[in-house]
Copies of this chain bind each other. A is one copy, B any other.
Amino acid sequence: MVEVGGTRGRIEKRSAILEAAADVFAAEGFALASVDDIAAAAGVAKATVYSHFGDKEGLLRAVLTVEADRAAESNLAAIERLLHVEGDVDDALRDVGRRLVDCFCDPKAQALRRLVTGELARYPDLADLLFGRTPQRVHQALADRLLALSVQGRLVVDDPLTAAEHFGSLLTGSIDARSRLGSRRLPDAELDAIVESGVRVFLRAYGATPAAGR
């Protein structure tokens, strides 16, 4: 590993630790992951971890914050594609839907959700940390896009926030069960089918032409 010392390297150590901690937490869960393991994985002394993050809980929070932001970015990037819809709305929705499903199935994102869920009993505020960062922003952004499409007459959406929830639910609702909470990788074709049927239902409910999608 590259040796970096002094003040300059501090920030690099920090992100190396965050990276390693995310991996170890994801693989082992919070309780089972030892700080020694994380330090070793980051190529760093244990004391360095403590000097950066105070304690294990602080490290967890830092990891969750970083990963939640990262997840939010990729989700928002997917939704961005609804800003200028050129062809059919349903093509656009399928495209965006597939991207959102991919974000949802991303191993890191799934590990993140598992982490928070598992430690909720010990640290109840983690849910706010996570949900305040990712789903809320994503939800709002999607609602904005759907409303805009409705104004353009390409969808009929009276309550954008609810419609956004429905879109997301139809796409991701069955994935946790099918993938056994992420412990099984779902084949591409299956994800495509989920998106396909989910978008079809969404369009029957919110499409501008009542008979959309046959």
Contacts and interface: CB of A to CB of B under 8 A. Distances in A.
Interface of A: 26-29, 31-32, 113-114, 116-122, 124, 127-128, 131, 135-136, 139, 159, 162, 165-166, 168-170, 172-174, 177, 180-183, 197-198, 200-202, 204-206, 210-211
Given A117-B114, A122-B32, A162-B197, A169 B180 contact: no
Nearest to A33: B121
Nearest to A111: B121
B124 A114 contact: no
Given A169-B174, A200-B205, 19 more contacts: A27-B121, A28-B122, A29-B120, A29-B121, A29-B122, A31-B31, A114-B120, A117-B118, A117-B181, A120-B182, A124-B183, A127-B183, A135-B177, A162-B197, A165-B174, A169-B169, A169-B172, A170-B170, A201-B202
A124 B114 CA distance: 12
Contacts of A27: 121
Nearest to A162: B197
A165 B159 contact: no
Contacts of A136: 177
A211 B204 CA distance: 10
Main secondary structure of the interface of A (DSSP, over half): helix
Contact of A127 (B26, B180, B210): B180
Nearest to A174: B165
7 contacts: A28-B121, A32-B121, A135-B177, A166-B197, A166-B201, A170-B173, A200-B205
Given A32-B121, A122-B32, A210-B210, A169 B159 contact: no
Nearest to A136: B177
A27 B173 CA distance: 26
A118 B124 contact: no
A166 B119 CA distance: 29
Nearest to A164: B174
Nearest to A116: B181
Contacts of A32: 31, 121-122
Contacts of A166: 170, 173, 197-198, 201
